[in-house]
Structure 1
Protein backbone atom coordinates (compact mmCIF):
# COMPACT_ATOMS: atom_id res chain seq x y z
CA UNK A 1 0.00 0.00 0.00
CA UNK A 2 2.80 2.40 0.89
CA UNK A 3 4.73 1.57 -2.27
CA UNK A 4 1.60 2.06 -4.38
CA UNK A 5 0.96 5.39 -2.73
CA UNK A 6 4.56 6.45 -3.48
CA UNK A 7 4.20 5.52 -7.16
CA UNK A 8 0.90 7.37 -7.34
CA UNK A 9 2.51 10.39 -5.72
CA UNK A 10 5.40 10.43 -8.19
CA UNK A 11 3.09 9.98 -11.16
CA UNK A 12 0.82 12.74 -9.95
CA UNK A 13 3.76 15.06 -9.41
CA UNK A 14 5.23 14.60 -12.88
CA UNK A 15 1.80 14.87 -14.53
CA UNK A 16 1.26 18.16 -12.72
CA UNK A 17 4.70 19.39 -13.79
CA UNK A 18 4.05 18.41 -17.38
CA UNK A 19 0.62 20.06 -17.41
CA UNK A 20 1.92 23.28 -15.86
CA UNK A 21 4.98 23.43 -18.12
CA UNK A 22 2.87 23.29 -21.30
CA UNK A 23 0.70 26.27 -20.46
CA UNK A 24 0.63 28.72 -23.40
CA UNK A 25 2.97 31.68 -23.08
CA UNK A 26 2.23 35.30 -23.85
CA UNK A 27 4.44 38.25 -24.61
CA UNK A 28 2.05 40.79 -23.09
CA UNK A 29 3.38 42.72 -20.07
CA UNK A 30 2.36 41.11 -16.79
CA UNK A 31 1.24 37.86 -18.40
CA UNK A 32 3.67 35.74 -16.42
CA UNK A 33 2.61 37.37 -13.16
CA UNK A 34 -1.08 36.85 -13.96
CA UNK A 35 -0.47 33.19 -14.83
CA UNK A 36 1.44 32.74 -11.58
CA UNK A 37 -1.35 34.35 -9.55
CA UNK A 38 -3.95 32.28 -11.40
CA UNK A 39 -2.00 29.09 -10.69
CA UNK A 40 -1.69 29.93 -7.00
CA UNK A 41 -5.38 30.76 -6.80
CA UNK A 42 -6.27 27.51 -8.58
CA UNK A 43 -4.10 25.54 -6.19
CA UNK A 44 -5.63 27.33 -3.20
CA UNK A 45 -9.17 26.43 -4.38
CA UNK A 46 -8.22 22.80 -4.97
CA UNK A 47 -9.42 20.19 -2.47
CA UNK A 48 -7.19 19.78 0.56
CA UNK A 49 -6.03 16.21 -0.28
CA UNK A 50 -4.96 17.28 -3.76
CA UNK A 51 -3.06 20.32 -2.47
CA UNK A 52 -1.31 18.17 0.11
CA UNK A 53 -0.47 15.55 -2.50
CA UNK A 54 1.03 18.11 -4.90
CA UNK A 55 3.12 19.81 -2.27
CA UNK A 56 4.10 16.53 -0.64
CA UNK A 57 5.18 15.01 -3.96
CA UNK A 58 7.23 18.04 -4.96
CA UNK A 59 8.88 18.18 -1.56
CA UNK A 60 9.73 14.48 -1.60
CA UNK A 61 11.21 14.83 -5.10
CA UNK A 62 13.35 17.79 -4.01
CA UNK A 63 14.61 15.94 -0.93
CA UNK A 64 15.42 12.79 -2.90
CA UNK A 65 17.28 14.75 -5.56
CA UNK A 66 19.17 16.74 -2.95
CA UNK A 67 20.29 13.58 -1.14
CA UNK A 68 21.41 12.05 -4.43
CA UNK A 69 23.45 15.16 -5.25
CA UNK A 70 25.27 15.15 -1.93
CA UNK A 71 25.79 11.38 -2.02
CA UNK A 72 27.32 11.59 -5.50
CA UNK A 73 29.69 14.33 -4.33
CA UNK A 74 30.75 12.22 -1.36
CA UNK A 75 31.54 9.36 -3.74
CA UNK A 76 33.61 11.69 -5.95
CA UNK A 77 35.58 12.96 -2.95
CA UNK A 78 36.21 9.54 -1.42
CA UNK A 79 37.25 8.14 -4.78
CA UNK A 80 40.12 10.65 -4.87
CA UNK A 81 41.50 9.53 -1.47
CA UNK A 82 44.41 7.06 -1.90
CA UNK A 83 43.46 5.12 1.25
CA UNK A 84 40.09 4.11 -0.24
CA UNK A 85 41.49 2.36 -3.30
CA UNK A 86 40.13 -0.97 -2.06
CA UNK A 87 36.58 0.37 -2.52
CA UNK A 88 37.17 1.19 -6.17
CA UNK A 89 34.59 -1.29 -7.45
CA UNK A 90 31.94 0.05 -5.06
CA UNK A 91 32.62 3.63 -6.11
CA UNK A 92 32.49 2.53 -9.75
CA UNK A 93 29.05 0.98 -9.28
CA UNK A 94 27.74 3.96 -7.32
CA UNK A 95 29.00 6.34 -9.98
CA UNK A 96 27.12 4.42 -12.65
CA UNK A 97 23.99 4.51 -10.51
CA UNK A 98 24.15 8.27 -9.96
CA UNK A 99 24.95 8.82 -13.62
CA UNK A 100 21.87 6.90 -14.75
CA UNK A 101 19.72 8.71 -12.17
CA UNK A 102 20.77 12.18 -13.27
CA UNK A 103 20.59 11.18 -16.94
CA UNK A 104 16.99 10.02 -16.44
CA UNK A 105 16.15 13.29 -14.70
CA UNK A 106 17.76 15.27 -17.52
CA UNK A 107 15.80 13.41 -20.20
CA UNK A 108 12.58 13.73 -18.18
CA UNK A 109 12.96 17.49 -17.92
CA UNK A 110 13.48 17.69 -21.68
CA UNK A 111 10.38 15.57 -22.26
CA UNK A 112 8.04 17.67 -20.08
CA UNK A 113 9.38 21.08 -21.11
CA UNK A 114 7.15 22.91 -23.63
CA UNK A 115 10.26 24.12 -25.48
CA UNK A 116 13.02 21.55 -24.98
CA UNK A 117 15.64 23.63 -26.79
CA UNK A 118 15.15 26.46 -24.29
CA UNK A 119 15.90 24.13 -21.40
CA UNK A 120 18.82 22.40 -23.15
CA UNK A 121 20.63 25.68 -23.83
CA UNK A 122 19.65 27.34 -20.56
CA UNK A 123 22.08 27.71 -17.67
CA UNK A 124 20.62 24.87 -15.63
CA UNK A 125 20.24 22.72 -18.72
CA UNK A 126 23.96 23.01 -19.39
CA UNK A 127 24.71 22.31 -15.72
CA UNK A 128 22.52 19.18 -15.82
CA UNK A 129 24.30 17.99 -18.95
CA UNK A 130 27.73 18.62 -17.43
CA UNK A 131 26.66 16.65 -14.37
CA UNK A 132 26.16 13.57 -16.57
CA UNK A 133 28.46 13.87 -19.58
CA UNK A 134 31.85 13.98 -17.81
CA UNK A 135 30.95 10.96 -15.70
CA UNK A 136 29.99 8.97 -18.79
CA UNK A 137 33.21 9.94 -20.57
CA UNK A 138 35.31 9.17 -17.50
CA UNK A 139 33.71 5.76 -17.06
CA UNK A 140 34.04 4.81 -20.71
CA UNK A 141 37.41 6.48 -21.33
CA UNK A 142 39.90 6.14 -18.45
CA UNK A 143 42.12 8.86 -19.93
CA UNK A 144 39.30 11.37 -19.41
CA UNK A 145 39.49 11.22 -15.61
CA UNK A 146 40.46 14.88 -15.43
CA UNK A 147 36.88 15.75 -16.40
CA UNK A 148 35.66 14.47 -13.03
CA UNK A 149 36.16 17.91 -11.55
CA UNK A 150 33.32 19.22 -13.69
CA UNK A 151 30.93 17.01 -11.73
CA UNK A 152 31.38 19.33 -8.79
CA UNK A 153 29.12 21.69 -10.75
CA UNK A 154 26.36 19.32 -9.72
CA UNK A 155 26.23 21.36 -6.52
CA UNK A 156 24.67 24.18 -8.55
CA UNK A 157 21.53 22.08 -8.82
CA UNK A 158 21.03 22.47 -5.08
CA UNK A 159 20.07 26.10 -5.53
CA UNK A 160 17.28 25.08 -7.90
CA UNK A 161 15.59 22.45 -5.74
CA UNK A 162 15.95 24.14 -2.38
CA UNK A 163 13.57 26.86 -1.29
CA UNK A 164 16.26 29.38 -0.45
CA UNK A 165 14.05 32.46 -0.43
CA UNK A 166 15.80 34.10 2.56
CA UNK A 167 19.21 33.65 0.95
CA UNK A 168 18.01 34.80 -2.46
CA UNK A 169 16.41 37.85 -0.88
CA UNK A 170 19.64 38.79 0.87
CA UNK A 171 21.57 38.19 -2.35
CA UNK A 172 19.19 40.52 -4.18
CA UNK A 173 19.67 43.11 -1.44
CA UNK A 174 23.44 42.86 -1.86
CA UNK A 175 23.22 43.22 -5.65
CA UNK A 176 20.99 46.29 -5.34
CA UNK A 177 23.38 47.80 -2.82
CA UNK A 178 26.37 47.11 -5.06
CA UNK A 179 24.60 48.56 -8.10
CA UNK A 180 23.63 51.69 -6.19
CA UNK A 181 27.19 52.16 -4.94
CA UNK A 182 29.03 51.25 -8.14
CA UNK A 183 30.65 54.66 -8.53
CA UNK A 184 31.82 54.66 -4.92
CA UNK A 185 33.08 51.10 -5.30
CA UNK A 186 35.10 52.04 -8.39
CA UNK A 187 36.67 54.93 -6.49
CA UNK A 188 37.28 52.63 -3.54
CA UNK A 189 38.99 49.98 -5.68
CA UNK A 190 41.12 52.61 -7.41
CA UNK A 191 42.16 54.05 -4.04
CA UNK A 192 42.99 50.62 -2.62
CA UNK A 193 45.00 49.72 -5.72
CA UNK A 194 46.96 52.94 -5.39
CA UNK A 195 47.64 52.24 -1.72
CA UNK A 196 48.84 48.73 -2.54
CA UNK A 197 51.29 50.06 -5.10
CA UNK A 198 52.56 52.75 -2.73
CA UNK A 199 52.87 50.40 0.25
CA UNK A 200 54.56 47.72 -1.85
CA UNK A 201 57.07 50.16 -3.26
CA UNK A 202 57.86 51.56 0.19
CA UNK A 203 58.35 48.07 1.59
CA UNK A 204 60.72 47.22 -1.27
CA UNK A 205 62.77 50.32 -0.50
CA UNK A 206 62.80 49.63 3.25
CA UNK A 207 63.42 45.87 3.31
CA UNK A 208 65.16 45.16 0.03
CA UNK A 209 65.98 41.85 -1.62
CA UNK A 210 68.03 40.60 1.34
CA UNK A 211 64.81 40.22 3.35
CA UNK A 212 62.78 38.53 0.62
CA UNK A 213 61.35 41.62 -1.11
CA UNK A 214 63.20 40.94 -4.33
CA UNK A 215 61.24 43.29 -6.60
CA UNK A 216 58.47 45.88 -6.60
CA UNK A 217 55.86 43.43 -8.02
CA UNK A 218 56.76 40.93 -5.29
CA UNK A 219 56.41 43.67 -2.69
CA UNK A 220 53.04 44.69 -4.14
CA UNK A 221 51.99 41.04 -3.81
CA UNK A 222 52.90 41.28 -0.11
CA UNK A 223 50.80 44.46 0.19
CA UNK A 224 47.83 42.72 -1.45
CA UNK A 225 47.86 39.70 0.87
CA UNK A 226 48.40 41.96 3.88
CA UNK A 227 45.60 44.40 3.06
CA UNK A 228 43.21 41.53 2.38
CA UNK A 229 44.17 40.06 5.80
CA UNK A 230 45.28 36.80 4.16
CA UNK A 231 48.97 37.05 5.12
CA UNK A 232 50.44 33.74 3.91
CA UNK A 233 53.65 34.38 5.82
CA UNK A 234 55.97 33.73 2.88
CA UNK A 235 57.16 37.35 2.98
CA UNK A 236 57.53 39.18 6.30
CA UNK A 237 59.33 42.42 7.17
CA UNK A 238 62.41 42.04 9.36
CA UNK A 239 63.40 45.63 10.14
CA UNK A 240 61.56 47.79 12.72
CA UNK A 241 60.66 50.34 10.05
CA UNK A 242 59.26 47.62 7.81
CA UNK A 243 57.21 46.19 10.67
CA UNK A 244 55.84 49.66 11.42
CA UNK A 245 54.81 50.02 7.79
CA UNK A 246 53.16 46.59 7.90
CA UNK A 247 51.17 47.70 10.96
CA UNK A 248 50.03 50.81 9.10
CA UNK A 249 48.99 48.69 6.12
CA UNK A 250 46.85 46.38 8.28
CA UNK A 251 45.15 49.26 10.11
CA UNK A 252 44.43 51.00 6.80
CA UNK A 253 42.89 47.81 5.40
CA UNK A 254 40.58 47.42 8.41
CA UNK A 255 39.41 51.04 8.21
CA UNK A 256 38.80 50.83 4.46
CA UNK A 257 36.80 47.61 4.85
CA UNK A 258 34.64 49.09 7.61
CA UNK A 259 33.93 52.25 5.62
CA UNK A 260 32.92 50.29 2.52
CA UNK A 261 30.62 47.98 4.52
CA UNK A 262 28.88 51.01 6.00
CA UNK A 263 28.28 52.40 2.52
CA UNK A 264 26.61 49.18 1.42
CA UNK A 265 24.37 49.03 4.49
CA UNK A 266 22.96 52.50 3.92
CA UNK A 267 21.49 51.69 0.47
CA UNK A 268 17.74 51.01 0.33
CA UNK A 269 17.13 47.71 -1.53
CA UNK A 270 13.79 49.01 -2.90
CA UNK A 271 14.41 52.53 -4.21
CA UNK A 272 18.23 52.53 -3.93
CA UNK A 273 18.28 55.73 -1.90
CA UNK A 274 21.48 56.26 0.06
CA UNK A 275 22.61 58.60 2.85
CA UNK A 276 20.24 57.34 5.56
CA UNK A 277 20.65 58.05 9.24
CA UNK A 278 23.00 55.63 11.05
CA UNK A 279 20.16 54.24 13.20
CA UNK A 280 17.50 54.26 10.46
CA UNK A 281 15.55 51.02 10.02
CA UNK A 282 13.24 52.25 7.24
CA UNK A 283 13.85 54.24 4.08
CA UNK A 284 12.98 57.93 4.33
CA UNK A 285 11.84 57.95 0.69
CA UNK A 286 9.74 54.81 0.12
CA UNK A 287 9.20 53.65 3.71
CA UNK A 288 10.36 50.08 3.14
CA UNK A 289 12.67 48.27 5.54
CA UNK A 290 16.38 48.82 4.93
CA UNK A 291 17.34 45.38 6.25
CA UNK A 292 14.53 42.84 5.57
CA UNK A 293 15.54 39.77 7.57
CA UNK A 294 12.50 37.69 6.66
CA UNK A 295 11.18 38.03 3.09
CA UNK A 296 7.73 36.86 4.09
CA UNK A 297 7.28 39.47 6.79
CA UNK A 298 8.93 42.19 4.73
CA UNK A 299 6.69 41.48 1.76
CA UNK A 300 3.56 41.56 3.84
CA UNK A 301 4.43 44.77 5.70
CA UNK A 302 2.96 47.94 4.26
CA UNK A 303 5.37 50.78 3.50
CA UNK A 304 5.49 53.46 6.14
CA UNK A 305 4.89 57.11 5.49
Structure 2
Protein backbone atom coordinates (compact mmCIF):
# COMPACT_ATOMS: atom_id res chain seq x y z
CA UNK A 1 0.00 0.00 0.00
CA UNK A 2 2.84 2.41 0.73
CA UNK A 3 4.07 1.74 -2.80
CA UNK A 4 0.72 2.85 -4.24
CA UNK A 5 0.58 6.00 -2.12
CA UNK A 6 4.19 7.11 -2.56
CA UNK A 7 5.92 5.46 -5.53
CA UNK A 8 6.34 6.99 -8.99
CA UNK A 9 5.52 3.87 -10.99
CA UNK A 10 2.66 4.01 -13.54
CA UNK A 11 0.32 1.89 -11.40
CA UNK A 12 1.00 4.06 -8.33
CA UNK A 13 0.26 7.20 -10.34
CA UNK A 14 -2.97 5.72 -11.65
CA UNK A 15 -3.95 4.83 -8.09
CA UNK A 16 -3.36 8.39 -6.90
CA UNK A 17 -5.32 9.78 -9.83
CA UNK A 18 -8.17 7.49 -8.77
CA UNK A 19 -7.92 8.92 -5.24
CA UNK A 20 -8.13 12.43 -6.70
CA UNK A 21 -11.28 11.36 -8.54
CA UNK A 22 -12.71 9.91 -5.31
CA UNK A 23 -12.04 13.18 -3.47
CA UNK A 24 -13.81 15.18 -6.19
CA UNK A 25 -16.70 12.70 -6.27
CA UNK A 26 -17.23 12.89 -2.50
CA UNK A 27 -17.21 16.68 -2.51
CA UNK A 28 -19.54 16.70 -5.51
CA UNK A 29 -22.01 14.48 -3.65
CA UNK A 30 -21.89 16.72 -0.58
CA UNK A 31 -22.77 19.67 -2.82
CA UNK A 32 -25.50 17.79 -4.69
CA UNK A 33 -27.05 16.50 -1.46
CA UNK A 34 -27.64 20.08 -0.32
CA UNK A 35 -30.22 20.42 -3.12
CA UNK A 36 -32.02 17.16 -2.27
CA UNK A 37 -34.58 16.33 0.42
CA UNK A 38 -33.51 13.76 2.99
CA UNK A 39 -34.92 10.52 1.57
CA UNK A 40 -33.99 6.83 2.12
CA UNK A 41 -31.99 6.65 -1.11
CA UNK A 42 -30.02 9.78 -0.22
CA UNK A 43 -29.18 8.26 3.16
CA UNK A 44 -28.19 5.01 1.43
CA UNK A 45 -25.76 6.87 -0.82
CA UNK A 46 -24.36 8.63 2.25
CA UNK A 47 -23.62 5.32 3.96
CA UNK A 48 -22.16 3.65 0.86
CA UNK A 49 -19.92 6.63 0.20
CA UNK A 50 -18.92 6.66 3.86
CA UNK A 51 -17.91 3.00 3.70
CA UNK A 52 -15.78 3.56 0.59
CA UNK A 53 -14.10 6.58 2.17
CA UNK A 54 -13.56 4.69 5.43
CA UNK A 55 -11.82 1.86 3.57
CA UNK A 56 -9.54 4.32 1.76
CA UNK A 57 -8.87 6.16 5.00
CA UNK A 58 -7.85 2.93 6.78
CA UNK A 59 -5.53 1.96 3.94
CA UNK A 60 -3.96 5.43 3.90
CA UNK A 61 -3.30 5.38 7.64
CA UNK A 62 -1.86 1.86 7.51
CA UNK A 63 0.36 2.72 4.53
CA UNK A 64 1.94 5.65 6.38
CA UNK A 65 4.03 3.32 8.56
CA UNK A 66 3.28 5.44 11.64
CA UNK A 67 -0.51 5.06 11.93
CA UNK A 68 -0.99 6.75 15.31
CA UNK A 69 1.05 9.79 14.36
CA UNK A 70 -0.67 10.04 10.98
CA UNK A 71 -4.13 9.67 12.53
CA UNK A 72 -3.38 12.52 14.93
CA UNK A 73 -2.78 14.98 12.10
CA UNK A 74 -5.54 17.66 12.00
CA UNK A 75 -6.50 17.07 8.35
CA UNK A 76 -6.85 13.33 8.94
CA UNK A 77 -8.96 13.86 12.07
CA UNK A 78 -11.20 16.23 10.10
CA UNK A 79 -11.48 13.66 7.32
CA UNK A 80 -12.44 10.94 9.82
CA UNK A 81 -15.11 13.18 11.38
CA UNK A 82 -16.62 13.81 7.93
CA UNK A 83 -16.64 10.07 7.17
CA UNK A 84 -18.34 9.28 10.49
CA UNK A 85 -21.00 11.90 9.74
CA UNK A 86 -21.83 10.08 6.49
CA UNK A 87 -22.04 6.71 8.23
CA UNK A 88 -24.32 8.12 10.95
CA UNK A 89 -26.63 9.87 8.49
CA UNK A 90 -29.51 7.32 8.87
CA UNK A 91 -29.33 7.55 12.67
CA UNK A 92 -28.88 11.31 12.93
CA UNK A 93 -30.26 12.81 9.71
CA UNK A 94 -29.24 16.43 9.56
CA UNK A 95 -27.70 16.48 13.02
CA UNK A 96 -24.23 15.41 11.87
CA UNK A 97 -24.38 17.04 8.43
CA UNK A 98 -22.33 19.98 9.68
CA UNK A 99 -19.31 17.68 9.86
CA UNK A 100 -19.55 16.90 6.15
CA UNK A 101 -18.00 20.22 5.30
CA UNK A 102 -14.78 18.89 6.83
CA UNK A 103 -14.52 16.50 3.88
CA UNK A 104 -13.75 19.48 1.64
CA UNK A 105 -10.52 19.92 3.61
CA UNK A 106 -9.40 16.69 1.95
CA UNK A 107 -8.99 18.78 -1.21
CA UNK A 108 -5.98 20.41 0.45
CA UNK A 109 -4.31 17.03 0.13
CA UNK A 110 -5.54 16.81 -3.45
CA UNK A 111 -3.75 20.04 -4.25
CA UNK A 112 -0.49 18.43 -3.15
CA UNK A 113 -1.44 15.33 -5.13
CA UNK A 114 -1.73 17.50 -8.25
CA UNK A 115 2.03 17.88 -7.99
CA UNK A 116 2.38 14.44 -9.60
CA UNK A 117 1.05 16.00 -12.79
CA UNK A 118 4.36 17.83 -13.16
CA UNK A 119 5.99 14.90 -14.90
CA UNK A 120 2.87 13.86 -16.83
CA UNK A 121 1.59 17.05 -18.45
CA UNK A 122 3.76 19.67 -20.21
CA UNK A 123 1.07 22.31 -19.62
CA UNK A 124 1.25 21.74 -15.88
CA UNK A 125 5.05 21.95 -15.86
CA UNK A 126 4.90 25.27 -17.71
CA UNK A 127 2.12 26.77 -15.56
CA UNK A 128 2.57 24.94 -12.26
CA UNK A 129 2.42 27.95 -9.97
CA UNK A 130 -0.72 29.38 -11.61
CA UNK A 131 -2.47 25.98 -11.60
CA UNK A 132 -1.68 25.38 -7.92
CA UNK A 133 -2.78 28.93 -6.99
CA UNK A 134 -6.08 28.41 -8.83
CA UNK A 135 -6.55 25.02 -7.14
CA UNK A 136 -5.94 26.52 -3.69
CA UNK A 137 -8.44 29.29 -4.40
CA UNK A 138 -10.96 26.69 -5.54
CA UNK A 139 -10.44 24.66 -2.37
CA UNK A 140 -10.97 27.79 -0.29
CA UNK A 141 -14.25 28.49 -2.12
CA UNK A 142 -15.46 24.92 -1.52
CA UNK A 143 -14.51 24.92 2.15
CA UNK A 144 -15.96 28.34 2.97
CA UNK A 145 -19.14 27.74 0.94
CA UNK A 146 -19.66 24.47 2.78
CA UNK A 147 -19.10 26.18 6.11
CA UNK A 148 -21.55 28.97 5.23
CA UNK A 149 -24.17 26.46 4.08
CA UNK A 150 -23.93 24.19 7.11
CA UNK A 151 -24.03 27.07 9.60
CA UNK A 152 -26.78 29.06 7.90
CA UNK A 153 -29.25 26.97 5.86
CA UNK A 154 -31.44 26.05 8.86
CA UNK A 155 -31.93 29.63 10.06
CA UNK A 156 -31.05 31.96 7.18
CA UNK A 157 -33.73 32.13 4.43
CA UNK A 158 -31.13 33.49 1.99
CA UNK A 159 -29.05 30.29 2.20
CA UNK A 160 -31.21 27.45 0.90
CA UNK A 161 -28.58 25.30 -0.84
CA UNK A 162 -24.89 25.13 -1.68
CA UNK A 163 -25.30 27.43 -4.68
CA UNK A 164 -26.61 30.21 -2.42
CA UNK A 165 -23.66 29.68 -0.08
CA UNK A 166 -21.22 29.77 -3.01
CA UNK A 167 -22.83 32.96 -4.31
CA UNK A 168 -22.46 34.64 -0.92
CA UNK A 169 -18.86 33.44 -0.58
CA UNK A 170 -17.84 34.77 -4.00
CA UNK A 171 -19.53 38.16 -3.56
CA UNK A 172 -17.95 38.52 -0.13
CA UNK A 173 -14.55 37.28 -1.27
CA UNK A 174 -14.45 39.79 -4.13
CA UNK A 175 -15.70 42.54 -1.74
CA UNK A 176 -18.61 43.16 -4.15
CA UNK A 177 -21.12 42.72 -1.33
CA UNK A 178 -24.48 43.04 -3.12
CA UNK A 179 -26.24 42.82 0.23
CA UNK A 180 -29.09 40.54 -0.91
CA UNK A 181 -27.67 37.79 1.33
CA UNK A 182 -26.06 38.55 4.68
CA UNK A 183 -24.96 36.48 7.66
CA UNK A 184 -26.57 37.90 10.79
CA UNK A 185 -25.02 37.96 14.24
CA UNK A 186 -21.46 38.23 15.46
CA UNK A 187 -20.52 34.76 14.20
CA UNK A 188 -21.82 35.57 10.72
CA UNK A 189 -19.90 38.83 10.58
CA UNK A 190 -16.68 37.18 11.73
CA UNK A 191 -17.11 34.45 9.11
CA UNK A 192 -17.56 37.16 6.46
CA UNK A 193 -14.37 38.86 7.62
CA UNK A 194 -12.42 35.60 7.30
CA UNK A 195 -13.75 35.08 3.77
CA UNK A 196 -12.77 38.61 2.73
CA UNK A 197 -9.27 38.61 4.22
CA UNK A 198 -8.25 35.10 3.19
CA UNK A 199 -9.99 35.33 -0.18
CA UNK A 200 -8.32 38.58 -1.22
CA UNK A 201 -4.93 37.10 -0.31
CA UNK A 202 -5.56 34.05 -2.49
CA UNK A 203 -6.84 36.21 -5.35
CA UNK A 204 -3.68 38.32 -5.24
CA UNK A 205 -1.52 35.20 -5.25
CA UNK A 206 -3.39 33.87 -8.30
CA UNK A 207 -3.05 37.21 -10.12
CA UNK A 208 0.65 37.29 -9.31
CA UNK A 209 1.12 33.77 -10.66
CA UNK A 210 -0.79 34.60 -13.86
CA UNK A 211 1.02 37.83 -14.71
CA UNK A 212 4.52 36.96 -13.50
CA UNK A 213 6.91 36.04 -16.34
CA UNK A 214 6.77 32.31 -17.04
CA UNK A 215 9.61 30.33 -15.48
CA UNK A 216 10.37 26.64 -15.16
CA UNK A 217 11.17 24.80 -11.94
CA UNK A 218 14.56 23.11 -12.11
CA UNK A 219 16.89 23.13 -9.06
CA UNK A 220 20.39 24.32 -9.85
CA UNK A 221 22.82 21.53 -8.86
CA UNK A 222 25.27 24.10 -7.48
CA UNK A 223 23.32 26.82 -5.64
CA UNK A 224 19.83 25.28 -5.51
CA UNK A 225 17.97 28.14 -7.25
CA UNK A 226 14.61 26.65 -8.20
CA UNK A 227 13.14 28.86 -10.95
CA UNK A 228 14.77 29.81 -14.25
CA UNK A 229 13.87 31.22 -17.64
CA UNK A 230 12.54 28.47 -19.95
CA UNK A 231 15.49 28.86 -22.34
CA UNK A 232 18.16 29.39 -19.65
CA UNK A 233 21.44 27.59 -20.28
CA UNK A 234 23.26 28.79 -17.16
CA UNK A 235 21.99 29.60 -13.66
CA UNK A 236 21.65 33.37 -13.31
CA UNK A 237 22.76 33.15 -9.66
CA UNK A 238 25.97 31.11 -9.94
CA UNK A 239 26.53 30.50 -13.65
CA UNK A 240 26.38 26.69 -13.40
CA UNK A 241 25.29 24.80 -16.53
CA UNK A 242 21.65 23.81 -15.99
CA UNK A 243 20.67 21.35 -18.74
CA UNK A 244 16.92 21.97 -18.27
CA UNK A 245 14.84 19.17 -19.89
CA UNK A 246 12.92 20.37 -22.97
CA UNK A 247 9.98 18.49 -24.47
CA UNK A 248 10.73 20.05 -27.84
CA UNK A 249 7.51 22.09 -28.04
CA UNK A 250 7.77 25.41 -29.85
> What TM-score does the superposition give when structure 1 sets the normalisation length?
0.39
User: Normalized per residue, which structure has more helix?
Assistant: 1
Greater RCO between the two (CA within 8 Å, min separation 6)?
Answer: 2
Find the structure with the greater CA-based Rg: 1
